[in-house]
Every structure is written in structure tokens, then in C-alpha cells.
Structure 1
Amino acid sequence: MHESPVLGGVRNVGSAYALALDVVRLLFTRRPQWRETLEQFWFVASVSILPAALVAIPFGAVIALQLGTLTVQIGAQSFTGAASVLAVIQQASPIVTCLAIAGAGGAAISADLGARTIREEVDAMKVLGIDPVERLVVPRVVAAMGVAALLNGLVSVVGVTGGYVFNVVVQGGSPGAYLSSFTALAQISDLAVGEIKALAFGFLAGVVAAHCGLNPTPGPKGVGDAVNKAVVVTFLLLFFVNFVITALYLQIIPAKGA
């Protein structure tokens, strides 16, 4: 008897939520798997750093070009740099970071765990009394969070630099005005919320990728479907969680100068 799509969706959401709770519990109650975590950290960073840096350049350029045109129209050219930095740090950097981690690192995590599952390695670990969540999932989630936090800083620098170059070279803006206005609107809490977003997105990407990898349909096609599902679901959650965190931040932390 086939399961209805609605019940299947509810079951998947529940099992993913349970996996996330298990990961949080194990993070605070069990000794970390340092070697596995470091190996996964290096792996996720190696497959994510170049795509994140390359995507950050056009993101920063588009933001700078759009804001540069807008500030010229309203006669506020001196605030181009401030608005660009604020947009990159708060929104663009965490999103680009998670897109890179979900599309590169998350896909690789899901494929690795999916291959282990269909080869029955995960079942063998359970028979031997080894918790696959503690041994396989937690190190990958921690690695995704750590890489997300570090990549967020890198993407911020690359995005702001790209915006500066395009504003000065393409739009003929003043380098001094662009640089001097950095602190006009941005504040330390903006950088903090960007890092919080990156950590949250990295956690979501790791959990979703692990859940899809541990629950594939049989066969190689099932692993491929699990990878696609992990990327798509992560992207959907990314934009929803980004909206929630941004709304809460803007309600709690007043804007600079307000």
C-alpha cells in the first residue's frame, strides 16, 4: 500500500526535526569526533571556498551598481558605500555562503551518506552498537557550521571589494566617499547577525543533507534523488529562515541613527 504524499511529507519533516534535535543533544553530551570533524571541515571548505568567492563578486557588483544608480537619483551619492556594505554584510554574504555550502558541500555530504546507506554500512554500524548520528552526522554538521562562519567573512570582504571596484570604475564614483561612508549605516551588530545567519544556515544545510543521505530510495538513482532533494530543500529553508532572522533583528536592534 502506497503512502500518500501528505503523510510522506509530514513523516519526512518529523524525522528531519528529530535528527536536528539529536544533533543538538549530542553536541552537548558526547565527546566530539575531532579527527572526523577536521577531515569534514577541510573537505567542505575545499569544495565550497572557490564557488563562494566567485559568486560573491557579481553579488557585490550588482548591489553596488543598483544602489549607486539609486543614490544618484535621490542625491545621496555619499551613502553608496554605506548602503552597499550594509546589504552585503547583512544579506548577501550569508546567502551566498549557504548557497555554496548547500550546493557543493551539502550535495557531497548527501551523496557520501547515501552511498554508505545503500551499501548497508549504516545498518552495520547500528548492529555493532555505533550511533551513526554521533559518528557520521554530527561531525559533518559541525564542519558545515564552521565553514559557513569562516566563508561568511571571506564573502563579505570579496563582495565589498567587488562593489567598490564596480562603483568606482563603472559608475565613476569617488573612492574616498565610498570608503569614508562605510560606518555611516553599518554597525557591529550587523556583522554579528550575518555570522548568526551563517551558522544557522550551515546547521540547516548539514542536517538536511545528512537526513536526505540517510534516507534514500534503494539504488544509485535514489542517491542522486537524495542529493537533488537536499539542495532544493536547503535553498527553500534558507530564504524562509533568512526572512525570520532579518525580521526579528530589525525589530530588536534599532538601525544606526534611528
Structure 2
Amino acid sequence: MAGAEGRAGTGGLTRGAVRFAGDTLGQVGELFVIALEGFRRSWDIRAWWWEFVNQCWFLARVTSVPVLLVSIPLGATIALQVGDLAWQLGASSATGGAVVVGVVREVAPMASALLIAGAGGSAMTSDIGARHIRDELAAMEVMAVNPIHRLVTPRLWAASTVAVLLVPLVIVSAAGGGYFFNVIVQGVTPGAYLDGALSLLQLSDLLVTLFKAWVYGFITATVSCYMGMTCKTSPVGVGRAVNKATVVTFMLVFTVNYVVSTLYYVLFPSRSV
């Protein structure tokens, strides 16, 4: 009897794991379908232009001030840590290069993506989810209007565009915070800070950073719209979809960042001083 019960329990766990894997793969497939379908109608700009403008304005309005408030202390913290280590190694002139290169390559696209996901992505999910529970998406389909083309496509491009536009803001504010603490507080000369900042940077660093930001914005909008369109038809379902969208977006952004950064460092080795 005990052996039969053990086999039954093992079989139940196996079926549960298979069911979970099947549901996960199904959700990933639906996510890719929404992304590809939304991207496929990008050529029909007249159908989604004004929604794109509204979404860009909304995302810029809710992320511009927070990105400044995050980037300045973040750059200052990096500058303090790197500057202290550089002083111990007797290489204080390299502080500017280390700070700015780190900000340009990694901090700027990640900060942009996380703010887009936290402030803008949650709003996208709640908006699409509210439309879903009010059956507005179904009504659009009845009127022969594809909700993906009308709602998802402009959000994909708006999130990607604003994420790219936030990158220079992050770089300037973080580099400014690092400049203040390294030059004013720690006594590094302005010339050494700026020379070190420009000596290690390459044009490919900025291009890859902008590409990262565009991809992260695209991922954020895709996940947010998908979670809103597939949430349970209740206010609680919308709230859970917002939370799930933020968590999934962060996981995907960090994973994609690792892959892209690894490929970049292999294809474009760092410049030696």
C-alpha cells in the first residue's frame, strides 16, 4: 500500500510539473505572438500615431524627474566607491574613466529600463487590464478593430523611444554627480576627471547602450500589454497582473542585459589605456 501511495504521489508531482511547463511555454508563445503582431503593423503609422504621441508624453512625464533623482545619487555613489579605491591604488586620475564608462555601458540602459517598467509599464498594464475587464477589447474585435494594432503597437514604440531618450539624461546626470564628488569632495582635478572619462569610451559603447535601451523598452511594453490583456476579469486580477508584469520585466531585462553585454565584450574588446 505504501509503495502504491508513493507511486501515486510521484505521478501527481510529475503531472503537475508537466502541466506547469506546458502553461509556461504557452504564455511565452502568446507573449511572442503579441510582440510580433504588434511590430508587424508598425508600417501603418497613421492608425497609431496620436496614441503613440500620447504614450510618449505620458512616459516622459512620469519618468523624467525620477530618472534624475535616481541617476545623480547613483553616479555619486559610484564615484565615491571608485574614487576611494583609486586613491588606495594611486590611480585617482582614472576615476572619471571608470565612472563614466560604467554609467554609459551598464547603468544608463538599466536605469532607463527599470524606470520605464516601474512607472510606465505598471500604468500600461493597469490601463489595458481595465479595458479588458470592461470588455472593451472584445468590443474592438466585434467592430473589426484589432486591439493589438490599435493599443499595443503605439505602446511598443513609445516605450522604446522614451527609453532611448532617457539614456542621455541618465548619462549626464550620473556623470555630473560623479564629477561633483570626485572633483569637489575628493580633490581630483577637472582635467583628469574629464580626460579619464573620454579616454576609455568608444562610439560603439554609446550605440550598444542605445540599442539596449530600445530593446528593454520594447520588452517592457510587450510584457505590460500581455499581462493586461490576459489578466483575470476582476480588479484583483488587474492588481496581480501589474505586480507580475513588473517582476517578469525585471527578470527579462537582467537576462537580456547579460546576453547582450557578453556578446558586446566578445565582439568589441575594451580599449586599453
Relative to the length of structure 1, the TM-score reads 0.95
Aligned to 2:127: 112
Deviations 1:120-152 (A, max 9, x none): 000000011001011000001110011001001
Aligned to 1:203: 218
Whichever of the two has the greater Rg, that structure is 2
Alignment match of 1:36 (pick from 39, 43, 51): 51
How much is the aligned-residue C-alpha RMSD, in angstroms? 1.6
Segment drifting more, 113-122 vs 75-84: 75-84
Aligned to 1:102: 117
Any stretches of 5+ residues in structure 2 without a counterpart?
1-15
Deviation at 1:168, TM superposition (A): 2.1
Contact 1:79/1:184 (<8 A) preserved: no
Deviations 1:228-257 (A, max 9, x none): 011111111111111111111111112223
Aligned to 1:125: 140
C-alpha separation between the residues in 1 aligned to 2:105 and 2:21? 36
Aligned residues: 257
Deviation at 1:9, TM superposition (A): 1.8
Aligned to 2:10: none
Aligned to 2:7: none
Aligned to 1:230: 245
Aligned to 1:19: 34
Segment drifting more, 184-193 vs 115-124: 184-193
C-alpha separation between the residues in 2 aligned to 1:205 and 1:13? 14
Alignment match of 2:260 (pick from 221, 245, 250): 245
Segment drifting more, 47-56 vs 112-121: 47-56
Contact 2:47/2:150 (<8 A) preserved: no
Deviations 1:49-100 (A, max 9, x none): 1111111112211211121122222221111101111000010010000111
Trace 1:53-92 onto structure 2 (pairs within 5 A).
Answer: 53-92=68-107
Contact 2:159/2:217 (<8 A) preserved: yes
Q: Percent identity, please.
A: 45
Any stretches of 5+ residues in structure 1 without a counterpart?
none
C-alpha separation between the residues in 2 aligned to 1:36 and 1:59? 33
Contact 1:208/1:233 (<8 A) preserved: yes
